Amino acid sequence: MSIMIAPSLLSADYGRLAEAAKLAEEAGADLIHVDVMDGHFVPTLSFGPQLVASLKKEVKIPIWAHLMVEKPETFIPQFYEAGAGWLSIHLEASQHIHRHIFQMKELGLKAGIALNPGTPIHLMIDILKDLDFVLLMTVDPGWGGQTLIESTRNKIRLLRNWIQGQRLKIPIAIDGGVTLDNMEILIDDGVTIFVAGATIFGHEDPASVIKKMKEVVASRQKP
Ligand code: DX5
Ligand code: ZN
């Protein structure tokens, strides 16, 4: 499975988001990660579907909305109409995760479940085979620039073993605290999609960081 890089605009300059997305695409990013926060599921506020609609006109790579909101199902149609290609909703926020995953899939979206660091992955064992990807939070959601919680690495490895054991091919994405220094061990743990905000957009030359991340991936994928 090829490993993907998904820059998170949460740490970009909010006056220049389209520019940041285009720069990321040109540097080789595979997806643009847009964090949607409602001030309830997480204490902070961030972006909505209008941003996705604007970015959609600027980049060709898929836009991935990470919904950190209560009642995520009420927003699925809005993000679909705005042009998101990937959508992840939190297991902790959905009372009917099966219905909501299929609500996304029936629209043709890549549908994923996001899981907070403290939520056991066993809670999604029955829905796993229906997912297009899993998003494991490696920090508590709400802010960029936090340090990866080391205990989440056990979950990555456990999930990878489940996926392999069932002969499934489901990408494992992680979100939070990804750096150029920890990517290698995380690839070994089983990560196939890296979301990264502060590491990329906190740097004076974000494109160079994306290129370096691609180099780490390439060196790790060699036989
Ligand atoms: C956090 C967000 C992340 C955030 C990651 O709640 O979901 O996508 O941008 O930030 P970094 O990579 O800075 O830890
Ligand atoms: Zn995110």
Segment 67-85 mean pLDDT: 98
Tell me the C-alpha distance between 202 and 107, whole Å: 35
Segment 186-207 mean pLDDT: 98
Query: Given pLDDT bands bounded at 50, 70 and 90, which one contains residue 223?
Result: low
**Cα 181 vs. chain centroid, distance in angstroms?**
19
Q: What's the confidence (pLDDT) of residue 91?
A: 98
Segment 71-88 mean pLDDT: 98
Query: What's the first-to-final CA gap in the chain, in angstroms?
Result: 13
Q: What's the confidence (pLDDT) of residue 1?
A: 85
Q: What's the confidence (pLDDT) of residue 222?
A: 66
pLDDT digits (tens, 9 = 90+) for 137-175: 999 999 999 999 999 999 999 999 999 999 999 999 999
pLDDT digits (tens, 9 = 90+) for 14-43: 999 999 999 999 999 999 999 999 999 999
**Cα 35 vs. chain centroid, distance in angstroms?**
9
| Token couple for 60 | 């060709």
Segment 3-24 mean pLDDT: 98
Segment 95-107 mean pLDDT: 98
From residue 114, give the alpha-carbon distance in Å to each of 13, 50, 174, 203: 25, 22, 9, 27
Measured over the CA atoms of residue 211, residue 212, residue 215 and residue 217, the dihedral's sign is negative
∠220-129-91 over CA atoms, to 5°? 90
Q: What's the confidence (pLDDT) of residue 194?
A: 98
CA of 223 to the centre of ligand 2 (A): 31
Residue pair 58/36 in contact (Cβ under 8 Å)? The answer is: no
pLDDT digits (tens, 9 = 90+) for 47-74: 999 999 999 999 999 999 999 999 999 9
Substitution candidate for ligand 1 out of 68, 175, 180, 193 with most atoms within 8 A of CB: 175
Phi/psi zone of residue 133: left (φ > 0), alpha (ψ -120 to 50 degrees), beta? beta
Q: Tell whether the model's pLDDT for residue 98 goes beyond 90.
A: yes
Q: How many CB atoms lie within 10 A of CB 166?
A: 12
Domains (range + CATH), the chain: 4-220 (3.20.20.70)
Computed over every residue of the chain, the mean pLDDT equals: 97
Residue pair 193/203 in contact (Cβ under 8 Å)? The answer is: no
Q: What's the confidence (pLDDT) of residue 61?
A: 98
From residue 170, give the alpha-carbon distance in Å to each of 134, 164, 166, 196: 7, 9, 10, 20
Q: Which atom of ligand 1 is nearest to the CA of 142?
A: 6
Task: Look up residue 198 and give its amino acid.
Answer: A
Residue pair 156/191 in contact (Cβ under 8 Å)? The answer is: yes
Pocket lined around ligand 1, Cβ cut-off 6 Å: 8, 10-11, 33, 35, 66, 139, 141-142, 144-146, 175-178, 195-199
Q: Tell whether the model's pLDDT for residue 221 goes beyond 90.
A: no
pTM above 0.85, yes or no: yes
Q: Please pick, among 30, 35, 38, 189, the residue that the annotation labels catalytic.
A: 35
